[in-house]
Chains A and B, each alone.
Chain A
């Protein structure tokens, strides 16, 4: 089972860079790592996905070390609107290795 571990909560201030790390020791060879953002009363929204090394898009970067047993979501210059819960999801549901799971996520609070 592709279980993930994240910090329960993090605090930051506007304009700072925030790094959220996810541990996934049981990641399988073919598993991708996907990060989602969720605001209250809304469904999760895709942020970024990667397999190895570094991926960057217009909102975030994803760093994955060579052993792939962890990953770090980096949010540059956060604002108040980035206050949300962030989930990492590893793998897929339809695999012989077992079904991936959403953990309890990391609640990020951005302060003015």
Chain B
């Protein structure tokens, strides 16, 4: 049972480039989330999904896009990378949102130069 798997683990982008951060879970969870964590700070919610085909914005959605075509996968897209998007990105999933814990991946460390 792999849990939540994120790829890549590390990536360096140039300003203006695009990339997709991959996230997949094998727990058949309905809810999936994307967070970013800047150094020394807490996690900020970017986007979340309550099931395949349904997504909604979190606190800091600008500059990002998501899609959820299957229960397992929840990719995060950066269209025009900016230095302010340098951060560690965490994907998480849970069976329910309110009373079930979130399971986190190991993160993707992204640097934009």
Contacts and interface: CB of A to CB of B under 8 A. Distances in A.
Interface in A9-65: 30-32, 34, 36, 41-46, 49, 51
Contact of A43 (B56, B59, B105): B105
Interface residues of A, number: 25
Contacts of B99: 32, 49, 51
Contact of B107 (A34, A42, A103, A105): A42
A34 B56 contact: no
A42 B92 CA distance: 12
A95 B107 contact: no
Contacts, number: 67
A36 B98 CA distance: 15
B16 interface: no
Interface of B: 4, 31, 33, 35, 40-45, 48, 50, 56, 58-59, 90, 92, 97-99, 101-107
A32 B92 CA distance: 18
Chain A residues touching B, majority SS: loop
Contacts of B35: 102
B43 A102 contact: yes
A64 to B, nearest CB: 14
